[in-house]
Chain A
Amino acid sequence: MLDHSTISAVLTAGMEEGADFTEIFVEDRQSISAMLDDGRVEELASGRDRGAGIRVVSGETTGFAHTADLSVESLRVAARTAAAGARGGTGKALPISASPRSAAGRTLPTILPENVDKGEKVALLKAAEDAARSENQAISQVTARYADSRRRIQVANSDGIHSADDQVRTMFSVSTVASGDTGMQTGRESVGRTVGFELFSETDVAELARTAAQRAITKLAARPAPSGEMTVVIGPGGGGVMFHEACGHGLEADLVAKGASVFAGRVGEKVASELVTLVDDGTMDGEWGHTTIDDEGLAVRRNVLISDGVLMDYMWDGLRARSEGRNSSGNGRRQSYRHLPMVRMTNTYLLAGESDPADIVADTESGVYVAHLGGGQVNTATGDFVFGMTEAYLIEEGRITAPLREGNLIGNGPAVLANIDAVGDDFSMGAPGTCGKDGQGVPVGDGVPTLRVHGLTIGGTAA
């Protein structure tokens, strides 16, 4: 990527008018995606993106500029543009190492996707389609998508940080439509990991396709979801999105600092049932939200957010940490070199508990079992959050019974966290996700064991 003299010239240009901090973030991203739809491999698309974002901070003000032109002249212009947005400061900079450091904690991809013939990628799509269509005659449409990306980043700043990462991600998804007397229903299943093409030696795309098909078929016979407050049991893996929304966003230090979080001022307090220990962990090798460094160049960490129900700490990026005189937690992330970093989650999960998952269901007189969740959304100021259920069943007299149609559930973060009364001894990571905040999307992972919560409102139409 960029050499030492170019980087130094940019950092100097950022600091020469006096500033507290200058940073250059260089990114080189290449991606391939292939899609099969309506029985045909419709398209293969490739993308290439390369550029640098330069940030200059002075007090509470950040100036930012970016360019796709990595020549030293163009980078200097961008640095001066950014510096013009943030004037004043010490102008002091620490020297950086000659070459970027890589952080530990990554198993290198054994098969780089760029070295795999495109025909092999396309063949996976056909295999998935065949499997989905063979599963049941009611499957009327199948979409399969393959995508890989390689994102190389280099970060250097006036605090002396100079580090790099090479992030390879591979993902595959299948969406199905099933048609019956009651209309159409959909099913989806996906897998995504921060690994290379070896993903497919551990993942059977045909199995994935059958799961997606079965999900749609099951819903053909589904009844409308109930309406009103109920007890909800969430299956392993499927429910991480709930914690991401119920408290994850509210524990982002930038939102906390602006008074836009119900969790502001509550560190050290009990904010959840004592069964809840919640962790955000960027170090989970291979998981979708894994990196070795964050997008501010710091090694990612395993951060315990809630321990036995007590709020331990928020998640931090460099800017927020700097203004409060503490260290970043390695949660500064950005969508691309065109974006400013913000506090973001990585892989967020609830630690397993001690209950037998079967007992949790058996001990539930009536309620809803959610096997698979869709996306969600939260209003961090109130803590009200929603998430969608894409595979759910009624629980009647301690048994999982009739399948339910799709719907959203709504709850209030602090209330829901307090109302968790059982956590299973099973655990599974969920589907790969893209978390959106202020218009930026970043890959995130999540996971949960089986758990039970009271007082979520189910948005169904049944009385």
Chain B
Amino acid sequence: MDYCNNESCSGAVSVPDRNFGRGVNVTKPGNDQELLKVAQDLVDASVGTEQVEVILSNGESTTVKVHSGEVESLTSAGSAAAGIRVIRDGRLGFASCGTLNPIVLSETLDSARDNCRFAEQDEHNGLALADGVDVVPQNLWSDSVLSTTVDQKVALALDLERQVIGLDSRVSTARSTSYGDGWGQAALASTNGISRVTSEASCSIGTQPLARHGDETQMGWGSDASRDPESLDLQKVATEAVERATKLLGATKPSSVRVPILLEPRLAVTLFGMVTGMLSAEAVQKGRSPFADRLGEQIGSELLNLVDDPTRSESLGAEEWDGEGLACRSNPLLKAGVLQMFLHDSTTARRAGLRSTGSAVRAVRGLPAPGPQLLVMEPGETSAPEMLRGVTTGLAVQSFAGIHSGVNPVSGDFSVGADGVMIRNGELAEPVRELTIASTIQRLLLGVTRVADDFEWLPGGSGACSVLIEDVSVSGS
């Protein structure tokens, strides 16, 4: 991959809106049937036996960034997007645009049709067929996001920055502190009679404090997300962010060792989220998953229970329907470490002679593909303090770096940069940085020796607990 990333992204604020773009005020909130009608009208323009699927989104968002007690930027904008999939004689064409302008939408449909001519035939190509599975209704809307004034949004961001700077004398500034919110609606219609529409609104805050001691600077981060601006937990975000920054002051490079690593819930999601990505049926069918032949086998520790479940209403990542308009459902992936299933959209399901698992993920402006939607780990029985006490020598990881360049989802090779705090005789000891952690995804899964009972829903939507993984290569000097 030729990508690079600035670390600062990791603490960036994002409103959870996996499927929904936001933007131009073509329809107002609460008027989502109008959006569905625009989609349905385009579908009704289909000719002959062609299959047409239209997904549309629109919405508005606000982002406030503050610095040193002043507003640094205030962005308020609407945006819209459309993605049109056409299948003719088993050939797939796709086109997208960033507007709901009727002329452009009609041109986009024509482009998608034209694109079909150049793709090769695949008998398994086709849109989703209604499968009779009922949607688990979710309440994704929030009036309070819309009724919050710009002044209140600015005040929230400034308040967070004030709290961050007041907590510790070594923290006198933050790289960035922000509040963001948005509402969005998405509609999907197809010639197979699928017709869905959803509205959603949410808000979030985030900060990246800088802790200084002598010549040294460390950056922390913290964030929270909610459907109600008033329930954003500023104090928790500030405390966590400042702790992360100050904890690493004085960190040095450790000597190379093989030790157990302790991952807090957020990092457990990073690791197991990559695993669930490798359980996409597309990766399996195309010979790109190391777990392709392992159905029914023990691929992880007996302590590991992983479910992909976007129907969990407690989570901010809950969704009603997938990227093809099928009802989202609960899909158990690992039970006591045994691989239960792969995640399917309707194309991979057809190829495998199975039914879709409602796992089509997509951006409005891209094609759907099967993948994980909302990872939920089942809690274990060990308390987090007890888990720590049981480690003689180990590493409590604070953050990973270079996940996108250091994890190969085909071979399973895993090698990432990290920082954190060493564990000595059951207690947190000296901070460490500039180290790498290496293993393979396969070994990490089997190496889980403890799952804690500290289950929490993370701002990004996933639900997870801390885990302890044995025998990992930590490289330093």
To the question of whether A and B form a pair in one complex, the answer is yes
Let me know if A459 and B416 touch, CB within 8 A.
yes
- Max chain A CB contacts within 10 Å: which of B23, B96, B119? B119
Known: A258-B176, A377-B405, A458-B475. A65 touches B75 (CB 8 A): yes
Q: Which residue of chain B is the closest to A411 with respect to CB atoms?
A: B434
Q: Give chain A residues whose Cβ lies under 8 Å from the Cβ of B436.
A: 227, 386, 407-410, 457-459
Which residues, 342 to 372 on A, are CB-close (under 8 Å) to B? none
Let me know if A384 and B434 touch, CB within 8 A.
yes
Size of the chain B interface, CB-CB below 8 angstroms: 93
Let me know if B9 and A184 touch, CB within 8 A.
no
Let me know if B438 and A459 touch, CB within 8 A.
yes
- Max chain B CB contacts within 10 Å: which of A37, A40, A44? A44
Let me know if A410 and B417 touch, CB within 8 A.
yes
Let me know if A43 and B93 touch, CB within 8 A.
yes
Let me know if B288 and A386 touch, CB within 8 A.
no
Q: How many Å from the CB of A70 to the closest CB on chain B? A: 10
By secondary structure, the A interface counts as strand
Q: Give chain A residues whose Cβ lies under 8 Å from the Cβ of B79.
A: 66, 68, 338
Let me know if A62 and B72 touch, CB within 8 A.
yes
Let me know if B118 and A375 touch, CB within 8 A.
no
Q: Which residue of chain A is the closest to B22 with respect to CB atoms?
A: A338
Q: Which residue of chain B is the closest to A36 with respect to CB atoms?
A: B120
Binds A, one of B193-201, B266-274, B383-391, B406-414: B406-414
Let me know if B119 and A42 touch, CB within 8 A.
yes
Point out the residue from B80, B95, B401 that lies within 8 Å of A45, measured CB to CB.
Answer: B95
Tell whether B433 is near chain A: CB-to-CB under 8 Å: yes
Known: A62-B72, A406-B411, A438-B9. A457 touches B94 (CB 8 A): no
A188-229 contact mask (Cβ, 8 Å, vs B): 1 or 0: 101000000000000000000000000000010000010111
Tell whether A322 is near chain B: CB-to-CB under 8 Å: no
Let me know if A377 and B6 touch, CB within 8 A.
yes
Cα A409 to Cα B415 in complex, Å, equals 9
Tell whether B24 is near chain A: CB-to-CB under 8 Å: yes
Cα A43 to Cα B83 in complex, Å, equals 14
Tell whether A436 is near chain B: CB-to-CB under 8 Å: yes
Tell whether B122 is near chain A: CB-to-CB under 8 Å: yes
Q: How many Å from the CB of A414 to the closest CB on chain B? A: 11
Which residues, 86 to 100 on B, are CB-close (under 8 Å) to A? 92-99
Cα A48 to Cα B95 in complex, Å, equals 8
- Max chain B CB contacts within 10 Å: which of A48, A65, A228, A409? A48
Cα A375 to Cα B308 in complex, Å, equals 29
Q: Give chain B residues whose Cβ lies under 8 Å from the Cβ of A340.
A: 73, 75
Point out the residue from B95, B111, B367, B415 that lies within 8 Å of A406, measured CB to CB.
Answer: B415
Known: A45-B96, A46-B95. A61 touches B6 (CB 8 A): no
Which residues, 295 to 344 on A, are CB-close (under 8 Å) to B? 338, 340
Let me know if B406 and A388 touch, CB within 8 A.
yes
Tell whether A73 is near chain B: CB-to-CB under 8 Å: no
Tell whether A41 is near chain B: CB-to-CB under 8 Å: yes
A169-190 contact mask (Cβ, 8 Å, vs B): 1 or 0: 0000000010100011110101
Cα A185 to Cα B253 in complex, Å, equals 31
Tell whether B149 is near chain A: CB-to-CB under 8 Å: no
Which residues, 440 to 477 on B, are CB-close (under 8 Å) to A? 473, 475-477
Cα A161 to Cα B118 in complex, Å, equals 43
Known: A41-B120, A43-B92. A184 touches B411 (CB 8 A): yes
Q: Give chain A residues whose Cβ lies under 8 Å from the Cβ of B93.
A: 43-45
Q: Give chain A residues whose Cβ lies under 8 Å from the Cβ of B9.
A: 436-439
Let me know if B217 and A434 touch, CB within 8 A.
no
Cα A303 to Cα B212 in complex, Å, equals 31
Let me know if A436 and B434 touch, CB within 8 A.
no
Tell whether A105 is near chain B: CB-to-CB under 8 Å: no
Q: How many Å from the CB of A226 to the closest CB on chain B? A: 9
Q: Give chain A residues whose Cβ lies under 8 Å from the Cβ of B224.
A: none
Tell whether B152 is near chain A: CB-to-CB under 8 Å: no
Tell whether A239 is near chain B: CB-to-CB under 8 Å: no
Which residues, 196 to 246 on B, are CB-close (under 8 Å) to A? 208, 210, 212, 216-219
Let me know if A179 and B287 touch, CB within 8 A.
yes
Q: How many Å from the CB of B94 to the closest CB on chain A? A: 4
Let me know if A381 and B217 touch, CB within 8 A.
yes
28 pairs of residues in contact across A and B, judged by CB atoms under 8 Å: A42-B122, A45-B93, A45-B115, A49-B99, A67-B24, A177-B410, A184-B290, A184-B410, A186-B410, A225-B438, A227-B475, A228-B476, A229-B476, A241-B4, A255-B175, A260-B217, A374-B406, A381-B217, A382-B216, A385-B417, A405-B411, A406-B408, A406-B411, A435-B3, A437-B9, A438-B6, A439-B12, A459-B417
Supplied contacts A241-B2, A437-B5, A459-B437, 17 more A-B pairs, CB within 8 Å: A47-B95, A47-B365, A60-B72, A69-B24, A86-B74, A118-B114, A183-B412, A260-B208, A375-B4, A381-B219, A408-B401, A408-B438, A434-B4, A439-B14, A459-B406, A459-B416, A459-B417
What residues of chain B have their CB less than 8 Å away from a CB belonging to chain A? 1-9, 12, 14, 23-24, 67, 70-80, 92-99, 101, 104, 107-108, 111-112, 114-120, 122, 150, 173, 175-176, 208, 210, 212, 216-219, 253, 256, 285-288, 290, 365-367, 401-402, 404-406, 408, 410-413, 415-417, 419, 433-439, 473, 475-477
What residues of chain A have their CB less than 8 Å away from a CB belonging to chain B? 34, 37-38, 40-51, 59-69, 78, 81, 85-86, 118-119, 121-122, 140-141, 177, 179, 183-186, 188, 190, 219, 225, 227-229, 241, 244-245, 249, 255, 258-260, 262, 338, 340, 374-382, 384-388, 405-412, 430-439, 444, 457-461
